[in-house]
Chains A and B, each alone.
Chain A
Amino acid sequence: MTPDNGRVLEASNLRKVFGDLVAVEDVSFHIGEGETYGLLGPNGAGKTTTISMVIGLLERDGGEVVVAGNPVTTKSTTAKAAIGYVPQDIAIYPDLTARENLSFFGHLYGMGGSDLKRRIDELLEVIGLADRADDRSEEFSGGMKRRLNIGIGLLHGPRLLMLDEPTVGVDPQSRNAILESVERLSGEGMAVLYTTHYMEEAERLCDRVGIIDEGQIKAEGTRAELVSLVGQRDKVSLVTADHAQEVAEALASHPDVVEVSGNESGIDLLVSGAAAALPALLQLAAGAGASVTSVEVVEPNLEAVFLHLTGKALRD
């Protein structure tokens, strides 16, 4: 066991090769207590391969993983006791009840007796399945199965929770419930590794995000740090009834406006700090004799960062 320096997970220089395909190359990241780290990338980017190596399901061709101070290998069991894994697939037995599924995995986590029974009852309340505890999971809706899938990963109170695209194919209501759960768990001090190709989820949940594509982490940091890579410029769209040319000239004179361009119904601006500059911009437009009927401000997001870094859209 090595000192963890407050880091629950430390992954260094991970590498995995399948035949001629380099699936993961030199991937490194770390997660501290109470921190949610997102691996954001399109399908096939290497997220699941990375997570499989982190949890010791897949033999690494290079690199190291340490969880809670214990090295992770395919054969190690000590480190795995600190990990709760929620796979992308709903990995439960459909012909067992929710309680039986939880009990089964509880035993595999080394739990048993009245402690396990109590923990299962608690968890069934948390995941909202207490009233369906003794129904077979094959009778559950997709959202309920997802909740059970997550519940199994939480059974033993892990220090690190790893969720591999947990909201794929989930209805909006269940999705929101899952995201709220992750936020709450992180708030309680659990380290969370969250893989997704949904930009909105990464922005909402993650303290730090690693943007992964073609098996490599292209950039890593907080949302603000990543956005700064493409510049802190907000897009402001004004819809004007008339005097578009005069308005464009007037707005271009503002020091925070970086770029001005016309569109079918008005003007698009790239502005540094739109929130602060917006009153002055509207004043300039009015002074140019235009009546502004609509204003839209779009802040730069991770989608834009991904596009900037990889040259392709996140969902391509």
Chain B
Amino acid sequence: MRKILAIGRVNTVRFLREKSNIFFVFVFPMMIVLLTGIAFGSGFDAKVGVHVAGDEGPLATQFVTALDDLADISVIRYDDPDRMLDAVQRGYTDGGVTLPEGYDEALVSGGTAQVEFVSRPDQGALLVRELVLEVVTDQARPVTAGRFVEGTGAGSLDEASAFAAAVPETVTVKSRSAGDSLFEEFVDLGQFDLGASQQLVLFMFLISLAGSAELIQTRKLGVARRMLSTPTSSRTILLGETAGRYGVALTQGLYIMIGTLLIFQVDWGDPIGAIAIVLVFGLVGTGAAMLMGSLFSNDQQAGGLGVLIGLGLAAIGGAMAPIEIFPETMQTIAKFTPHYWAIDGFAELVRRDGTMVDILPNLGVLAGFAAVLLTVASWRLQKVLTR
């Protein structure tokens, strides 16, 4: 056991002594979690530019305030309409609203005010447009009613408008949905929750594969032969090399898990289940690294291919985008990757409040992947360890 630990320890130390590995293990994953959380984790939160032409009256101010008060809208005021247009075109804002000059006068005097909305031609703009329209309608409705009352001589515009604004809606629309929303499970997720589990799976596997380089070097340098010349069995050496790769994989997995928990308050669900996934998925990464280390004799070649395989499996397995948005065929293909089963396990724990029992099938499949990879790698390494 001491020999296994000695070999494992040396492997882990050598891996972490490489400066680029430090960056990719400790810095890069956190950056990616942070960036994906910022970019995609905050739900729908649109920025809308508003330009009020000419003097701003109370009704124009009321409009802007009503728009800004909407939960999903943040208003950015622009004095220059060209700058507002530029912001829309560059994607800084999701839309721009221009209140025409004399907006208040037009509404009070019974004229027509044309509110202009500009956006990029994408799906998100449609939702923003609907929200702007809602505010316009909310403001126009009592003003129209007030003007009617004022026209009949039954009261002033201000009083009638205020009264009309207080009248509850007589017709409402009740919406209900059929089937499950693709993203319903994501609604209650924290800003970094989804990205963290995906990045954990992606980086654990990538870093494990990177660890194959040390194994290839051990063979190339003749250290493996020398180890075999000591009173150490090949089985002990294989177990030690496996322990080294596993140490690297676990370091990466637990670092992301604990780091994101402390820094981003990521919810990992049932801790026992989450750690179980890390432990078993770590074995999968270790098996893959051992296999690569036994198949290649050039560590740079293995490193390049490892990145390709790691990113490819991550993309297919749902570690780069939620598997729920994949077409059905791709979702079926994803099931052939270990990444899918790990991510699905985390989804069970985090989104569906699952426990260890609920993820047993996932753990079983992952254990199967690990067993096959480690068996083939050990068989192959026995043959090439002295070369």
Contacts and interface: CB of A to CB of B under 8 A. Distances in A.
Interface of A: 52, 55-58, 74-75, 77-78, 80-81, 83, 85, 87, 89-96, 100, 104-105, 107-110, 112, 152
Nearest to A82: B231
Nearest to A104: B10
A77 B231 contact: yes
B6 to A, nearest CB: 4
Interface in B14-50: 14, 17-18
Contact of A55 (B3, B18, B222, B229): B229
A87 B10 contact: no
B139 interface: no
B2 A80 contact: no
A75 B231 CA distance: 9
A95 B17 contact: yes
Contacts of B229: 55-57, 80, 83, 85, 87
Contacts of A152: 226
B129 interface: no
B233 interface: yes
B231 A81 contact: yes
A110 B231 contact: yes
B161 to A, nearest CB: 79
B1 to A, nearest CB: 11
7 contacts: A57-B228, A74-B234, A77-B231, A78-B231, A93-B10, A96-B14, A107-B2
A96 to B, nearest CB: 7
B4 to A, nearest CB: 10
Contacts of A52: 386
Contacts of A56: 228-229
A89 B3 contact: no
Nearest to B220: A89
B72 to A, nearest CB: 53
Contacts of B7: 104, 108
Contacts of A104: 6-7, 10
Contact of B18 (A57, A95, A112): A95
A87 B231 contact: no
B223 interface: yes
A93 B223 contact: yes
B227 interface: yes
A144 B228 CA distance: 24
B211 to A, nearest CB: 14
B230 interface: yes
A157 to B, nearest CB: 13
B221 A77 contact: no
A106 to B, nearest CB: 9
B232 interface: yes
Contacts of A78: 231
A109 B230 CA distance: 6
A93 B217 CA distance: 9
B120 interface: no
A108 B14 contact: no
Contacts of B221: 89-94
Given A87-B225, A93-B10, A105 B2 contact: no
A266 B386 CA distance: 56
Contacts of B226: 85, 87, 91, 105, 152
A8 to B, nearest CB: 16
A93 B14 contact: yes
A96 B10 contact: yes
Nearest to A88: B222
Contacts of A77: 231-233
A112 B231 contact: no
A282 to B, nearest CB: 55
B30 to A, nearest CB: 25
A85 B228 CA distance: 10
A89 B224 CA distance: 12
Contacts of B14: 93, 95-96
Contacts of A74: 228, 234
Nearest to B237: A108
When A and B form their complex, which 7 residue pairs have the shortest distance between CB atoms, in order from nearest? A91-B222, A107-B6, A77-B231, A85-B229, A89-B222, A108-B230, A91-B226
Given A96-B10, A96-B14, A108-B6, A80 B223 contact: no
